[in-house]
Amino acid sequence: MNQITGIVNLVEDKLKTLLENYIFLKEENELLHNKVIVLENQIAKEKQFNNEIEKQYQTLKIAKTIEGSKENSRETKLKINALIREVDNCISQLSE
C-alpha cells in the first residue's frame, strides 16, 4: 500500500509541475503574442512613413527636374506621361 501511495504522490508532483509549466508557458505565449502585435504595428507605421518619404522624394525629384535641370528632363517627361496615362485610365474606368 505504501508503494501505491508513493506512486500517487509522484504522479501528483509531476502533474503539479506540468501544470505550473503549462501556466508559465501560456503566460509567456500571451506575452510574446502581444509583443508580435506591437512589432507588426510598428512595422506597418514604418512602412507607411517610408512610403510617405518616398512620395516626397519623388515629388521633390520632379520639382527639381521641372525647375530647369536638363539632366532629368527625359525622366520628368516619362513621369508626366505615366501620370497622364494613369489619369486617362482612371477616367476610362469612371466612364464605364
- pLDDT score recorded for residue 49: 94
pTM of the predicted structure, to 2 decimals: 0.53
- Rounded Cα distance between 54 and 46, Å, is 12
Could you give the count of Cα atoms lying within 13 Å of 8 in the half-sphere of its Cβ? 5
- pLDDT score recorded for residue 63: 76
Longest dimension (CA), the chain: 99
Cell 508503494 found at:
3
DSSP state of 70: S
- Rounded Cα distance between 33 and 39, Å, is 10
Binning pLDDT at 50, 70 and 90, where does residue 44 land?
very high
DSSP state of 96: -
- pLDDT score recorded for residue 59: 85
**Which triple of cell numbers denotes residue 43?**
512595422
